[in-house]
Structure 1
Amino acid sequence: MADQVDVAIIGGGPAGLTAATYLRRFLRSCVVIDAGHSRARYIPESHNCPGFPQGVSGRELLARMRAQAETFEARIVEARVERIENSGEGFTVSAGERRWHARNVILATGVADRLPEVPWCEDAIARGALRLCAVCDAYEARDQRIGIHGPADGLIGHARFLRAYSPDVALLPTDHALAGADAATARELGVRVLPPGGTLDFDGERCHYRTPEGDETFDTIYPYLGHHSYADLLRGLGLPADEGELKVDLHQQTRIPGLYAIGDVVSGLNQISVAFGQAAIAATHAHNTLPHRPRGSVL
């Protein structure tokens, strides 16, 4: 038998936990099904998250938000959703042997960064030697020696952004050398381009980029290797994702009524503050579509 809830929230990151807090304060039943893969857990310390002038780590933020949702008796289940089915009057969400039937579903799965396949990756992220979001923390990397690592065809846009923060920016292409307009733009920006296909290493403090032509040390490296999405959950619903990012309307609703998407899985700016707003919009709209439930009389 499936548990009955008003709303099933898939993902327990900042977006999903915010939605849960709103829905419980609307006196709606909801469940947060969380696989524990929020990108926020990688944040050593965020300084652009509203309300934390001294900064906050991703793990601390998640713990605080979970405690806040649980204050209003939000139910949080540790599980990985494998399937979402449209069951007529709502959806059936499955995770292993467990199932939930919900009038509405809010997708807050986020995306998973493709990280360098090295054993020291998480240690380097924790120390700021690898950084995953220039919008989030380029301010902290200003005037450092910055490397940008990834496929050549996607590096120039990141270089243009980061060149505003440091005079010493280098491109570390994983596949081939830059050519044509991209090579010319790199020269105009004053950005160095290193030989492609080098290897990354980490000495416990800084990252190194090694090629047959030499070894360069960087204070921080931004890897832009793409990401994995969780769009496979939607295949049974006939809702394809565009490069892992879903299209939604002004209410954060997909083209399937009752199915919402918030946070990094949605096209747009991947920021915690944006996820907060999207969660509030989706939760409020979902609440307003559910049957009205008058409170019992007080005698």
Structure 2
Amino acid sequence: MDRAADDGVLDCLVIGGGPAGLTAAIYLGRFGRRFLVVDAGEPRAAWIPVSHNIPFFGEGIPGPRILERQREHAGRYGTRVLPGTVTELRKAECGGGLVGFVAAVEERGGARRTVEAKRVLLATGSVDVEPDLPDLPDAVRRGLVRYCPICDGYEARGRRIAVIGHGKRGAGEAGFIARTYGGEVTLLTLGRPMDDLELEERERLEGQGVKIVEQPIAALDVRDGQIAALRTGGGQELRFEVLYSALGLEYRTGLALALGAEHDAQGALAVDAHNQTTVKGLYAAGDVARGLDQIVVAMGHAAVAATHIHNRCELPTEDEPDEARQSRTG
């Protein structure tokens, strides 16, 4: 059964088809809700070569396979995934006195449509800031540089590891890897001085065996789909078995911010216990929501949000005008 027919107001519009969005689709489908998933086709999970911390997949599972299995699962409940991008989202009356959302959608083939929904779940994720390596764009997307030591650091324990980063974020991740997984850990700042690193933090890193290389990287040696060596501007050759990027994330939160949703200092959206943002009726799950950026956490966010959406779907949102609320509640 397709619960997302073209006509009428949806119970929920899910924006994003990664682990969070597809988990929400599974829940909403099983609740019998009328919804649509709009997916731009750029989930961060697709970059994962193999993840070993997803429950029930002890041997590891690649990110693309996670998404494939989720799509298959969601498809059992009539989930419809529309390839496209939501270019605008605004609050508006959607019929029957309900204040909901109106979304402008640009489909992958260029067609445009308007979608009305009582509630919206934002699961648009984030993008890793790519390291500025010589003649090597998109190193993270291409799998040459990893981005999640929580996901696969266990498999790298005891090896020669480089962390690309600077400032407190870079120092924090290098320290985390060193104290958690051991091995030889080097922090590569790509020419950024670590002047803002307090003496106590520097001493702590040194105590954990972390080396700091502040020279820029002038050349790379890429062999067999791996970065075999890096050469600094001073001619020093550095060899590592695993490279991680700790340059941070760019959160895809533009739609929520345009509606006035609050966010933290890093840019992730503030949510309540139901994963609802400060814009009533707008929910966030996965990387865009404040919290630990992990697939299992994203799935948990989506389950909580979808259940609350289901339970509240026939009720007005808390920020509807009083007259609209009264007319709908009697």
Same fold (TM over 0.5): yes
TM-superposition CA deviations, 1:111-134 (whole Å, max 9, x none): 11112355656677666x521101
CA distance in 1, matches of 2:185, 2:141: 19
Give 2:305's aligned residue: 282
Matches within 5 A, 1:201-216: 201-204=220-223, 205-213=226-234, 214-216=236-238
Q: Does 1:48 align with 2:47?
A: no
Q: 1:45 to 1:232 in 2, by over 3 A?
A: same
Give 1:21's aligned residue: 26
TM-superposition CA deviations, 1:41-95 (whole Å, max 9, x none): 0111111111212211100110110111111101100111111101142101112
Amino acid at match of 2:149: A
Displacement, 1:267? Answer: 1.0
Q: Does 1:60 align with 2:65?
A: yes
Give 1:190's aligned residue: 209
The answer (yes or no) to whether the contact 2:37–2:81 under 8 Å persists in 1 is yes
Secondary structure, counterpart of 2:125 in structure 1:
coil
Displacement, 1:197? Answer: 2.3
Secondary structure, counterpart of 2:41 in structure 1:
coil
Of residues 23, 33, 39 in structure 1, which corresponds to 2:38?
Answer: 33
Displacement, 1:216? Answer: 0.3
Give 2:12's aligned residue: 7
Q: Which runs of 5+ in 2 are unaligned?
A: 1-5, 94-98, 107-111, 316-330
Instruction: Using the TM superposition, name which of 37-46 and 235-244 deviates more.
Output: 235-244
The answer (yes or no) to whether the contact 1:251–1:285 under 8 Å persists in 2 is yes
CA distance in 2, matches of 1:117, 1:78: 31
CA distance in 2, matches of 1:233, 1:124: 25
CA distance in 1, matches of 2:129, 2:222: 21
Displacement, 1:277? Answer: 1.1
The answer (yes or no) to whether the contact 2:27–2:307 under 8 Å persists in 1 is yes
Displacement, 1:188? Answer: 1.7
Give 1:262's aligned residue: 285
Q: Which runs of 5+ in 1 are unaligned?
A: 293-299
Amino acid at match of 1:221: L
Give 1:230's aligned residue: 252
Give 1:250's aligned residue: 273
When the two chains are superposed, the root-mean-square deviation of aligned CA atoms in Å is 2.1
Q: Does 1:170 align with 2:186?
A: yes
The answer (yes or no) to whether the contact 1:264–1:270 under 8 Å persists in 2 is yes
Give 2:122's aligned residue: 107
Instruction: Using the TM superposition, name which of 34-43 and 165-174 deviates more.
Output: 165-174
Instruction: Using the TM superposition, name which of 117-126 and 88-97 deviates more.
Output: 117-126
Give 2:159's aligned residue: 144
Equivalenced residue count is: 291
Q: 1:58 to 1:113 in 2, by over 3 A?
A: same
Q: 1:250 to 1:163 in 2, by over 3 A?
A: same
Give 2:88's aligned residue: 83
CA distance in 2, matches of 1:27, 1:212: 60
TM-score by length of 2: 0.82
Amino acid at match of 2:115: W
Q: 1:79 to 1:125 in 2, by over 3 A?
A: closer
TM-superposition CA deviations, 1:184-223 (whole Å, max 9, x none): 2222221111133224624223343321331101111111
Percentage identity across paired residues of the two chains: 37
Give 1:297's aligned residue: none
Amino acid at match of 2:252: Y
The answer (yes or no) to whether the contact 2:121–2:284 under 8 Å persists in 1 is yes
Q: 1:199 to 1:239 in 2, by over 3 A?
A: farther
CA distance in 2, matches of 1:136, 1:262: 19
